[in-house]
């Protein structure tokens, strides 16, 4: 059965694709599209060229210095074939030529800004160069990443390059997962983790060098880190001890970024030197879709098979916004790949996204077997953070998921992940992935017009995300966000809304001072709302139950698969877990049931049991790990993690209610729910246990925005609860 090809505008009349395509879509259209596209292609390539030759202050570090050092073949002289190959690969990276010059610059300057195209070797090599040069003395080298997956994946890679396993010389630290030891010298960590470390070590004294990587992403935590590093450096690099010795533990900062917004970082750090490492970008031919595509997953599917049947060998990288789309596309590709003629090349699908464990993500790096085309489905993790070798074709859906705080409609202090259009800069990065090893092709599943309308770069997170957790962390450091020397300052409204949430949680008092409860909340690696619930559970005597629920809510995937096509079957299968008060206690029942099964049954039975009940077992595994860590924190702050209310639901609901007090709604006379704070009418999500039930008051985990505003993770709460919150808060404060 022939695939209905997606209508991509075409710029090369000689390509196979063109011939095939025109036979489906008609000549005239393509000849027109062709001419236009040619002009545009030049524009894009020139665009990329400008990108490459943009002479920045500090100039290219790659031209003057010859091959870094050949003695750099790794820690061992007797190398196995594979290790040797890895060392050869290292030496062949664009950055290798600039090694000596780069180290010299870092030695001379307190702050260095390093720009380089994705895949040139910044993240994996620079920390190793610094280590080998002795610049870090006895301190550690921190490399920060906005994304958990990047931090763990790159740490694994660098450990291999250093002929060791992760957790020794090279380690990582991400929320709920840390692998490092006293031997660790290079530590990859999320920007969130290093900001947390500030609380126990306000000058980051363990680190001699902090590399702020992927700075162009401008995540909230990266911005906070950049601001704090400036102050810390002043403290640590001060005039020294007065006895002729320099500062005892000076700090060096390296800011690394893939795009050209280096001046802003440089200016912020008193005109720090900007270095540029030239990458090897081969030409990438860009195809736009002739029409806008409503269903980007379907369009990606068609385009993939168009490439697979018409185009020469080469792996395909498809950018999708999130896990659900990845999983659905993977299924569709598998179905169609099985129907391909016997003699056509095979298809191997890999995927890469945050919630997937390392070993699965890592499969994307293995070369495909002979006569097989590898197809990698990834989120924007593969845009600049992680470079997968072998890519010749990129399919860009033009979508990503972005954190957004919807304070106006009452976000309750939580960020929502919204699928939205990418920026021009992302589109360029995505297409660039096709041209790393040779000429490549990028299929944009959107029109040229849509591309032109995209904004150039995205707004820094600090201007659009909830500040609740960050302000709480800063309060623990004795800092006020308003007084921090930030690259961009958030507006008063979002600061105000975060302060209000913190006050509602009892984390600050009416003078905005941190309360004891607030300090305890900050000790938990949780959203303040969840930490608040855990702390409230002490009073209600149900810490064990609240920890179970919060662990599931903090996992990276949902516990219940949302299979909307089979909603009745799903409801039937899950009936026995269902709790009359709603979703939170339903989660608790489910964990308890799973625990019983897990105690007596083997792995396969357990897996089958989860499948039968449409449960994500990965979430249950993750939640178990998370709970173990929360138990440690509980003990540290004087909470008994085993304190249990047995089968009594009310205390559990009340504890959770303390955390979700801003996420509450009351039933109106017309049977709709209206937010207690805010004016929005919310509907109960169809996947909720509470969907058909009307109760006077509800709390919810989050709002999702489709054509309506839906509350997800909904439980009933006694209306009287709200009058006790205030008294409770005062008693605790």
CB of 665 to Mg ion, least distance (A): 43
Q: Which does 121 bind (CB under 5 to 8 A by kind): ligand CDP, Mg ion, none?
A: ligand CDP
Q: Are 145 and 191 in contact (CB under 8 A)?
A: yes
Q: Which does 429 bind (CB under 5 to 8 A by kind): ligand CDP, Mg ion, none?
A: none
Q: For residues 40 and 328, what is the distance between their CA atoms, to the nearest angstrom? A: 33
Residue nearest to Mg ion (CB): 123
Task: Supply the DSSP string of 210-246, one letter for each residue.
Answer: EEETTGGG--HHHHHHHHHHHHHHHHHTSS-SSSS--
Our CB check for ligand CDP shows the closer of 125 and 715 to be 125
Our CB check for Mg ion shows the closer of 196 and 216 to be 216
Please tell me whether residue 379 adopts helix, strand or coil conformation. coil
Q: Which does 180 bind (CB under 5 to 8 A by kind): ligand CDP, Mg ion, none?
A: none
Q: For residues 181 and 166, what is the distance between their CA atoms, to the nearest angstrom? A: 10
Q: For residues 198 and 144, what is the distance between their CA atoms, to the nearest angstrom? A: 14
Closest CA to 351 of 372, 332, 371, 379: 379
Our CB check for Mg ion shows the closer of 259 and 515 to be 259
CB of 437 to Mg ion, least distance (A): 17
Q: Which does 407 bind (CB under 5 to 8 A by kind): Mg ion, ligand CDP, none?
A: none
Binding site for Mg ion (CB under 5 A): 122-123
Closest CA to 63 of 237, 275, 357, 313: 275
Our CB check for ligand CDP shows the closer of 257 and 629 to be 257
Q: Which does 120 bind (CB under 5 to 8 A by kind): Mg ion, ligand CDP, none?
A: ligand CDP
Closest CA to 535 of 655, 402, 442: 655
CB of 630 to ligand CDP, least distance (A): 31
Element counts in the chain: helices (H) and strands (E): 25, 21
CB of 51 to ligand CDP, least distance (A): 14
Q: Which does 289 bind (CB under 5 to 8 A by kind): Mg ion, ligand CDP, none?
A: none
CB of 244 to Mg ion, least distance (A): 40
Cβ burial of 340 (10 Å; 0-12, 13-18, 19+) is: middle
Closest CA to 179 of 658, 412, 169: 169
Our CB check for Mg ion shows the closer of 225 and 508 to be 225
Our CB check for ligand CDP shows the closer of 123 and 473 to be 123
CB of 153 to Mg ion, least distance (A): 11
**Alpha helices of 541-666 — where are they, by DSSP H?**
543-554, 567-574, 583-600, 603-612, 617-636, 649-659
Closest CA to 106 of 83, 137, 84: 137
Q: Are 187 and 142 in contact (CB under 8 A)?
A: yes
Our CB check for Mg ion shows the closer of 126 and 469 to be 126
Q: Which does 425 bind (CB under 5 to 8 A by kind): ligand CDP, Mg ion, none?
A: none
CB of 188 to Mg ion, least distance (A): 11
Our CB check for ligand CDP shows the closer of 119 and 321 to be 119
The first and second tokens of residue 687, run together, are 């996947």
Our CB check for ligand CDP shows the closer of 116 and 528 to be 116
Pairing between β-strand 681-684 and β-strand 664-667 as defined by DSSP bridges: unpaired
CB of 153 to ligand CDP, least distance (A): 6
CB of 69 to Mg ion, least distance (A): 22
Q: Which does 119 bind (CB under 5 to 8 A by kind): ligand CDP, Mg ion, none?
A: ligand CDP
Q: Can you state the percent helix, strand and coil of the chain, rounding each to 5?
A: 45, 15, 35
Binding site for ligand CDP (CB under 6 A): 93, 116, 118-125, 153, 157, 365, 387, 389
CB of 154 to Mg ion, least distance (A): 7
Our CB check for ligand CDP shows the closer of 258 and 591 to be 258
Q: Which does 4 bind (CB under 5 to 8 A by kind): ligand CDP, Mg ion, none?
A: none
Q: Which does 722 bind (CB under 5 to 8 A by kind): ligand CDP, Mg ion, none?
A: none
Q: For residues 661 and 642, what is the distance between their CA atoms, to the nearest angstrom? A: 25
């Amino acid at each position: 059965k022939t695939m209905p090809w997606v209508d991509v505008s075409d710029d090369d009349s000689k390509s196979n694709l063109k011939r095939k395509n025109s036979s489906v879509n008609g000549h005239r259209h393509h000849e027109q599209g062709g001419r236009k596209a040619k002009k545009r292609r030049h524009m894009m390539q020139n665009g990329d060229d400008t990108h490459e030759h943009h002479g920045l202050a500090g100039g290219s570090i790659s031209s003057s210095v010859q091959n870094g050092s050949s003695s750099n073949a790794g820690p061992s002289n007797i190398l196995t074939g594979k290790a040797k190959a890895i060392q050869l690969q290292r030496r062949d990276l664009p950055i290798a030529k600039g090694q000596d010059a780069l180290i010299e610059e870092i030695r001379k300057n307190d702050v260095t800004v390093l720009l380089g195209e994705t895949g040139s070797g910044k993240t994996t090599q620079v920390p190793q160069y610094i280590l080998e040069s002795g610049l870090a003395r006895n301190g550690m080298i921190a490399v920060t990443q906005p994304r958990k997956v990047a931090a763990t994946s790159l740490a694994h890679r660098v450990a291999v390059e250093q002929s060791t396993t992760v957790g020794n010389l090279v380690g990582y630290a991400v929320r709920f997962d840390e692998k490092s030891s006293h031997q660790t010298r290079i530590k990859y960590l999320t920007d969130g983790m290093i900001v947390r470390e500030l609380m126990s070590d306000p000058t980051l004294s363990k680190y001699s060098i902090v590399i702020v990587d992927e700075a162009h992403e401008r995540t909230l935590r990266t911005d906070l880190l950049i601001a704090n590093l400036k102050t810390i450096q002043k403290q640590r690099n001060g005039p020294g001890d007065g006895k002729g010795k320099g500062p005892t533990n000076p700090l060096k900062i390296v800011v690394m970024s893939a795009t050209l917004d280096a001046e802003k970082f440089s200016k912020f750090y008193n005109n720090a030197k900007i270095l540029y490492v030239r990458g090897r970008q081969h030409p990438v031919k860009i195809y736009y879709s002739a029409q806008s595509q409503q269903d980007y997953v379907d369009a990606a599917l068609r385009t993939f098979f168009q490439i697979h049947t018409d185009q020469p060998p080469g792996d395909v990288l498809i950018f999708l916004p999130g896990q659900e789309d990845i999983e659905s596309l993977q299924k569709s590709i598998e179905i169609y790949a099985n129907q391909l003629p016997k003699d056509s090349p095979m298809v191997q699908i890999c995927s890469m996204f945050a919630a997937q464990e390392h070993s699965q993500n890592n499969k994307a790096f293995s070369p495909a077997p002979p006569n097989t085309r590898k197809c990698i489905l990834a989120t924007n993790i593969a845009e600049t953070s992680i470079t997968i070798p072998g890519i010749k074709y990129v399919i860009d859906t033009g979508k990503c998921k972005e954190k957004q705080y919807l304070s106006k409609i009452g976000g309750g202090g939580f960020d929502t992940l919204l699928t939205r259009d990418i920026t021009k800069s992302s589109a360029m990065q995505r297409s660039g992935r096709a041209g790393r090893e040779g000429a490549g092709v990028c299929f944009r599943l959107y029109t040229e017009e849509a591309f032109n309308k995209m904004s150039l770069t995205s707004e820094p997170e600090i201007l659009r995300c909830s500040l609740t957790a960050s302000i709480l962390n800063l309060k623990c450091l004795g800092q006020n966000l308003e007084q921090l020397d930030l690259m961009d300052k958030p507006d008063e409204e979002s600061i105000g809304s975060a302060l209000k949430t913190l006050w509602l949680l009892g984390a600050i008092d009416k003078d905005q001072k941190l309360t004891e409860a607030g300090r305890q909340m900050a000790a938990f690696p949780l959203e303040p709302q969840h930490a608040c619930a855990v702390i409230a559970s002490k009073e209600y005597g149900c810490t064990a139950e609240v920890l179970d629920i919060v662990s599931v809510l903090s996992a990276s995937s949902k516990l219940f698969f949302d299979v909307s096509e089979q909603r009745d079957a799903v409801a039937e299968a899950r009936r026995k877990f269902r709790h009359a008060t709603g979703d939170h206690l339903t989660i608790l029942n489910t964990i308890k049931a799973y625990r019983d099964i897990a105690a007596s049954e083997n792995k396969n039975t357990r897996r089958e049991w989860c499948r039968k009940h449409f449960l994500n077992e990965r979430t249950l595994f993750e939640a178990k790990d998370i709970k173990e860590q929360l138990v440690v924190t509980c003990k540290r702050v004087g909470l008994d993690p085993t304190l249990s209310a047995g089968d009594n639901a009310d205390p559990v609901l009340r504890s959770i209610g303390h955390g979700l007090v801003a996420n509450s709604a009351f039933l109106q006379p017309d049977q709709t729910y209206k937010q207690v704070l805010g004016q929005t009418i919310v509907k109960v999500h169809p996947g909720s246990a509470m969907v058909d039930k009307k109760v006077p008051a509800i709390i919810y985990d989050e709002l999702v925005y489709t054509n309506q505003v839906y509350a997800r993770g909904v439980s009933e709460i006694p209306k009287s609860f709200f009058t006790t919150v205030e008294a409770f808060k005062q008693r605790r404060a």
